[in-house]
C-alpha cells in the first residue's frame, strides 16, 4: 500500500495542502494518507515543533506532501524544514520554473553550504560556517547532469568563485563532472546569473547551485512565471522524497482563502511523477491549465477565485477528464 504523509504545517499550508490532498485523493483513493503535525503551531501548543518520533513517522511514508512552516527569527528555534531535509538526507532540491514559454529547472544543493547549522554566536560576533563537501557537490552535480541529459538541455553552474574559496571548490568539482559527462554546460557568477536569468530566461535549462544561492534564485525566478503561488519543488534523497511549494507560510494572507494553491498542487503532481504515475502527474498539470483557461484563478493572478473554489474547479476538471 502506498502511504503518503501529509504535513500542512502553518499559515497558508492549512489552505493550499487540503486542495493538493483532494487532488491526490481524487486520483488515488487507494493510497493511505496520514497527517503529521509539525511546525510552529505545534510549538505554540506543546513547546516542541517536531520530535524524533515525528521524523521516524515521516520516514515510513513513500512520499511526503508538505505545506510550509513558519520559522520565527529567534535565536534558539531550530527550523523544522531544515531538520527534516537533513534527517531524511534530501540533498537535491529541484524547483521547476515553468510556463508555456519557459522550462527551467533550478537544482539546489539542500543539505550543506550556508545551511550547515555550524554556527557560533558571541556578544561581539556571529559566525556561520559554509560547508561545501566533495560528496555534497558530487551528488548534486550528478543529479543536475542526469536532469540536463533527460531534457537534452544546457547545464549552468552558478557560484561566487571570484570571492568565496568554498565556491572555487564547488565550481571545479561541477566543471570536472560536467566535462566528463560530455554534456553542454557553462558557468556564471551567481549575481550576474540572477539578472541574466530574468533578462534571457530562454538561455537556461538546468541551473545548479549551492544551498542559499538556490534558495534566493528560486524566489527570483518565480517572477518569470507569475510569482510564488505557482512554483513547486521536490526534495529528493536516496531513500526519501518530500514535495512542497517554494513559497512559505505567508502569514500576511493566511486564513483569508486567497492563497494560490497551484504551487502545492504542482508539488502533488511532482509527487505522483516520483511514484511512477506519469499519467496522473500529467493529468494534474492539464487540469490546472484547463481551470486557468476558463478564467478561474486566485487574486495573485488577477482573478477572484478563492483557494477552496479553485480547488473545487480543479477536482471537477479531473472528474470530467476521467
Chain positions contacting ligand NAD, by CB under 6 A: 12, 16, 68-71, 81, 228-229, 244, 247-253, 259-260, 263, 300
- Sites for Mn ion among residues 212-271 (CB under 5 A): 215
**Residue 89 contact partner, candidates Mn ion, ligand NAD, ligand IPM, none, CB within 5 to 8 A by sort of partner:** none
Task: Give the whole-angstrom CA distance, residue 144 versus residue 122.
Answer: 38
Cell numbers 513517522 correspond to 57
Query: In angstroms, what is the minimal distance from the CB of 302 to ligand NAD?
Result: 12
- Sites for Mn ion among residues 157-216 (CB under 5 A): 215
Binding mask 157-196 for ligand IPM (x = CB under 6 A): ----------------------------------------
The closest alpha carbon to 224, from 256, 248, 246, belongs to 246
Residue nearest to ligand NAD (CB): 248
Three-state DSSP at 97 gives strand
- Sites for ligand IPM among residues 238-257 (CB under 6 A): 246, 248
Beta-sheet strands, E only, within the chain: 3-9, 32-35, 63-68, 92-98, 103-109, 119-121, 126-128, 155-159, 185-189, 206-209, 232-236, 241-245
Query: In angstroms, what is the minimal distance from the CB of 219 to Mn ion?
Result: 6
Total residues interacting with Mn ion, rule: CB under 5 A: 1
Task: Give the whole-angstrom CA distance, residue 194 versus residue 190.
Answer: 6
- Sites for ligand IPM among residues 67-86 (CB under 6 A): 71, 79, 81-82
**Residue 82 contact partner, candidates ligand NAD, Mn ion, ligand IPM, none, CB within 5 to 8 A by sort of partner:** ligand IPM
Comparing CB distances to ligand IPM, the nearer of 65 and 246 is 246
Distances (CA, A) of 94 to 72, 109, 157, 225, 274: 25, 9, 14, 16, 12
Comparing CB distances to ligand IPM, the nearer of 253 and 313 is 253
**Residue 255 contact partner, candidates ligand NAD, ligand IPM, Mn ion, none, CB within 5 to 8 A by sort of partner:** none
Pairing label, strands 206-209, 3-9:
unpaired
Comparing CB distances to ligand NAD, the nearer of 285 and 300 is 300
Asked if 247 and 229 touch (Cβ cutoff 8 Å), the reply is: yes
Cell (9 digits) for 288? 490546472
Query: In angstroms, what is the minimal distance from the CB of 218 to Mn ion?
Result: 6
Distances (CA, A) of 257 to 15, 17, 64, 291, 311: 7, 12, 24, 18, 11
* Helix or strand run (H / E) with residue 37: none
Cell numbers 519543488 correspond to 233
Binding mask 208-237 for ligand IPM (x = CB under 6 A): -------x----------------------
Residues 6+ apart with CB under 8 A from 27: 272, 277, 280, 283, 284, 318
**Residue 70 contact partner, candidates ligand NAD, Mn ion, ligand IPM, none, CB within 5 to 8 A by sort of partner:** ligand NAD
26 sits in the region (left: phi over 0; alpha: psi -120 to 50; else beta) called alpha
**Residue 92 contact partner, candidates Mn ion, ligand NAD, ligand IPM, none, CB within 5 to 8 A by sort of partner:** none
Query: In angstroms, what is the minimal distance from the CB of 260 to ligand NAD?
Result: 4
Report the interface residues with Mn ion, using CB under 5 A: 215
Amino acid at each position: 500500500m502506498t502511504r503518503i504523509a501529509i504535513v500542512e504545517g502553518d499559515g497558508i499550508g492549512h489552505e493550499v495542502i487540503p486542495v493538493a490532498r483532494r487532488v491526490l485523493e481524487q486520483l488515488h483513493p487507494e493510497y493511505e494518507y496520514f497527517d503529521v503535525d509539525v511546525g510552529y503551531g505545534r510549538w505554540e501548543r506543546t513547546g516542541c515543533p517536531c520530535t524524533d518520533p515525528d521524523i521516524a513517522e515521516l520516514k515510513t511514508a513513500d512520499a511526503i506532501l508538505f505545506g510550509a512552516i513558519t520559522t520565527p527569527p529567534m535565536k534558539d528555534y531550530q527550523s523544522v524544514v531544515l531538520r527534516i531535509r537533513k534527517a531524511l538526507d534530501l540533498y537535491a532540491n529541484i524547483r521547476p520554473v515553468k510556463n508555456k514559454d519557459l522550462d527551467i529547472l533550478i537544482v539546489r544543493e539542500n543539505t550543506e553550504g550556508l545551511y550547515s547549522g555550524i554556527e557560533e554566536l558571541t556578544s561581539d560576533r556571529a559566525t556561520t560556517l559554509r560547508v561545501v563537501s566533495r560528496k555534497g557537490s558530487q551528488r548534486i552535480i550528478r543529479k543536475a547532469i542526469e536532469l540536463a541529459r533527460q531534457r537534452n538541455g544546457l547545464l549552468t553552474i552558478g557560484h561566487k568563485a571570484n570571492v568565496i574559496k568554498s565556491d572555487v571548490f564547488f565550481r571545479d568539482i561541477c566543471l570536472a563532472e560536467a566535462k566528463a559527462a560530455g554534456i553542454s554546460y557553462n558557468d556564471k557568477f551567481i549575481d550576474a546569473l540572477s539578472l541574466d536569468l530574468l533578462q534571457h530566461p530562454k538561455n537556461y535549462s538546468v541551473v545548479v547551485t549551492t544551498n542559499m544561492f538556490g534558495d534566493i534564485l528560486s524566489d527570483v525566478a518565480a517572477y518569470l512565471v507569475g510569482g510564488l503561488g505557482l512554483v513547486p519543488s521536490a526534495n529528493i534523497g536516496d531513500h526519501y522524497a518530500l514535495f512542497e511549494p517554494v513559497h512559505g507560510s505567508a502569514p500576511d494572507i493566511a486564513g483569508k482563502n486567497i492563497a494560490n494553491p497551484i504551487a502545492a498542487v504542482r508539488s502533488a503532481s511532482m509527487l505522483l511523477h516520483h511514484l511512477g504515475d506519469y499519467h496522473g502527474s500529467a493529468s494534474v498539470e492539464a487540469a490546472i491549465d484547463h481551470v486557468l483557461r476558463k478564467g478561474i484563478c486566485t487574486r495573485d493572478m488577477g482573478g477572484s477565485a478563492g483557494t477552496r473554489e479553485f480547488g473545487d474547479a480543479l477536482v471537477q476538471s479531473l472528474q470530467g477528464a476521467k
